[in-house]
Amino acid sequence: MLTAIILDDEIHGAKSLRILINKNCPDVHVIYLETDPLNALISIKKFKPDILFLDIDMPKLNGFEVLSELSNPLPKVIFTTAYDEYAIQAFKFNAIDYLLKPVMVEDLVSSVNKVNEKISVEKELRKKRQIEDLRQNQNIKISVHCRNELIIVETHTITRLEADSNYTHIYTVDGRKITSAKTLKEYEHQLPVSNFYRIHKTIVINMQHVEKFVRGEDAYIIMKDKSCLEISRRRKTDFLLYFYKNRRIN
Whether the predicted pLDDT of 140 surpasses 90: no
pLDDT per residue as tens digits for the range 100-121: 999 999 999 999 999 999 999 9
pLDDT of residue 246: 58
Residue 86: band (very low, low, confident or very high) from pLDDT cuts 50, 70, 90: confident
Whether the predicted pLDDT of 249 surpasses 60: no
pLDDT of residue 170: 96
Which domains does the chain show, CATH number per domain? 2-134 (3.40.50.2300), 139-246 (2.40.50.1020)
pLDDT of residue 134: 65
Whether the predicted pLDDT of 139 surpasses 80: no
- Determine the longest span between alpha carbons in the chain, in angstroms: 80
How much is the mean pLDDT over the chain? 89
**Contacting residues for 219 by C-beta, under 8 A, at least 6 apart:** 213, 230, 231, 236
Residues in the chain, how many?
250
Phi, psi angle pair for 216, to nearest 5°? 130, 175
Question: Would the pTM of this model clear 0.75, i.e. be above it?
Answer: no
pLDDT of residue 250: 38
- Cα separation of 239 and 110, whole Å? 41
Least confident segment among 17-26, 112-121, 192-201, 223-232: 192-201
pLDDT of residue 175: 93
pLDDT of residue 136: 64
